[in-house]
Amino acid sequence: MALIQFEKVSVSYGAPSHPVLSSIDLSIEEGEFVCLLGQTGCGKSTLLRLVLGSEQPCEGRVLIDGTEHDQPDPICGYVPQKYSLFPDKTVMGNITFGPEVSEFNLLTRLTPRYFRQRREFRQQAMQYIRRIGLQDADAGKYPDQLSGGMQQRVAIAQALVNRPRILLLDEAFSALDPGTRRDMQVLIRQLWQGTGVTLVFVTHNTQEALQLGTRVIVLARETPNHGSRVVLDLAVSSSCAADEFSRLVARLDSAAGSTRESEELTPTIGGATPHDLAAAQDLLPNEI
Amino acid sequence: MSACVSRTSIWKWQRKADFEEKMGGRFQLVHAKPSRTAAILLSWFLFVLGIGLYVHAAHKRHQENAEDRVVPTIPHMLHSTYEAAFRPAEDDEPTMGENANMPQRFLASMLWKDTKASARRFFYSLLLLIPAIFLGLHMGLFPYVGVFFSRFVLFFDKIIALSLLPILFIAVGIDELSKIMLIVIGVTPTIILDTFNLTRSVPQEQVVKAFTLGAGDFDVAYRVVLRQIAPRVLNSIRLNLKAVMLFLFAGEMIASTDGLAYRIALLRRHMGMDVIIPYVLWVALLLFLVDMTMRLINRKLHPWFREA
């Protein structure tokens, strides 16, 4: 059974109703790294919120491990583009928040068991801090004392420390500079390989989707009055050559109707240009 | 080509800026940086000017009429302040001799007695604002609580609290409760609505994220949202301190037997400006100290919070 299953899912907003997604049928297996691709406003984030359970479909149903979820729960980890960390908590506080609230409520936090266990949570968090490439001294820093890239690293660690089965990243790297973005791509790939978590990664960067995912799903509207549908569902080989990569980029761009956007975004991928796709080869998943 | 053009235009702009600087050209006031000395002098200027004008007016009036009570002289005010701060309250039995030390005499004085009475009402009122914070938090976070209370609180907020004073006096009498109720009724709706709006301004991503990390409803309320809005709620209370004092003074002036405002109202009948002015300044100083303490507490409790 697929871990995430969309059955004829449609979503509309407002009155008169404005369709966002139309009859989405999709299944995602455990352990996949799925990149959701599409133009701005095509419903990628809506699809993610449906998986999260923070939004419900108007038609059809979304099954997570065979059951419908009507509210967010710890089966999914979530890393949004903005506001990904709690500003009032330090790096350590952000990472230990999940284990602490899962084990202790407001009253049981006053028991000696909490103080014993808190030491374990902190040790575990420290391991994650090192694993995501931060220093021990960063543990006491508040989010506004960290760079954008460091904040997203902590947000990923915060989501992973609870060992969710699904990790959802909503344009988590889009506000980062090219160098940091590349580091983050390497990190997320390593963490995915290390944890075996099912990863759904929303992006509108074609090359990023191809470099990271084992599967790329493209959402697009056929006409402006219709909701988005899955127009392309592509399994990505980790050993594709530069010319194959180039062909895939063109195919995905044309499916998403985002050729111009892709060209604009191209320099953000490790400095590769459409005329120098061989340079992008060193970013391919098999090299990471 | 475009890089070349833009470099040329930057160079031209730089040359123009250098030229304007040399020629003492346009000066943008927005970018002025007062020196430390200038900042100190300018910030104290209005205080010095105010005191100077007062001294001048007092001097003039006392030249015309040596018994003038409307604008008392500074030495006269200092003498009255000393009397208020270091002589036993007139309605108290003298319990200490002339050789009691200054702190003892201050603690038995009229000023201290009035300050204590007003401060007690003030802090009871502040304590009663705590439920308002929790109500606003729950209204903002839990839709059913919001729907249940929001219309009522919005209506309640529009009632002029002072217009309720006669009703309060009739319903609960003229003792402490009516004065504290007046403050609570006057300020509570503002605090509830402010907390409600602050709660609603917490990004939805944070709430969703907390749930994905295993938090329950009350974890989200108290460990995520309340902690994030706490410094802003404290600021909101700080900004409402003056309103609290306003209602406190209104209550004390109309029906009280002690308190700072009672004393001011009493002395008004005797034209006691030599005590009224120091009392007004004393209240301002106390309020300033409370405000400063709250700001300090806010900074210590929430080191992550940067005020805009």
CB contact under 8 Å between A73 and B303, yes or no, is no
Residue ranges of domains in chain B = 35-64, 110-301
Q: Is B305 on the interface with A (CB under 8 A)?
A: yes
Asked if residue A51 lies in contact with residue A168, where contact means CB atoms within 8 angstroms, the answer is yes
Q: Is A77 on the interface with B (CB under 8 A)?
A: yes
Distance, CA of A79 to CA of B206 (rounded, Å): 10
In angstroms, what CA-CA distances link B64 with A13, A114, B49, B108, B270?
79, 77, 23, 38, 21
What does each of the 308 residues of chain B score in pLDDT, given as a tens digit? 444 556 666 676 676 667 666 655 667 888 889 999 999 999 999 999 999 999 999 999 999 988 888 889 999 899 988 888 888 766 655 556 666 788 888 888 888 999 999 999 999 989 999 999 999 999 999 999 999 999 999 998 998 888 888 888 888 777 788 888 888 888 999 999 999 999 999 999 999 999 999 999 999 999 999 999 999 999 999 999 999 999 989 888 887 888 899 889 888 888 888 889 999 999 999 999 999 999 999 999 999 997 65
B-chain residue closest to A82, CA distance:
B205
Contacts of B215 in chain A (CB under 8 A): 97, 101
**How many CB pairs lie under 8 A apart between chains A and B?**
80
Residue ranges of domains in chain A = 4-75+164-287, 87-162
In angstroms, what CA-CA distances link B99 with B95, B103, B107, B253?
12, 12, 14, 35
Q: What is the pLDDT of residue B35?
A: 94
Per-residue model confidence as pLDDT tens digits over B112-169: 999 999 999 999 989 999 999 999 999 999 999 999 999 999 998 998 888 888 888 8
Contacts of A143 in chain B (CB under 8 A): 304
Q: Is A93 on the interface with B (CB under 8 A)?
A: no
Q: Is A52 on the interface with B (CB under 8 A)?
A: yes
Q: Which of A56, A55, A44 is nearest to A20 (CA)?
A: A44
Asked if residue B84 lies in contact with residue B266, where contact means CB atoms within 8 angstroms, the answer is no
CATH fold label, B110-301:
MetI-like fold (1.10.3720)
Q: Is A86 on the interface with B (CB under 8 A)?
A: yes
> Nearest CB to B214: which of A84, A88, A162?
A162
> Nearest CB to A72: which of B211, B224, B230?
B211
Contacts of A86 in chain B (CB under 8 A): 206, 210, 224, 227-228
CB contact under 8 Å between A101 and B212, yes or no, is no
- The residue assigned the tokens 């976070």 is B141
CATH superfamily of the A4-75+164-287 domain: P-loop containing nucleotide triphosphate hydrolases (3.40.50.300)
Q: Is B134 on the interface with A (CB under 8 A)?
A: no
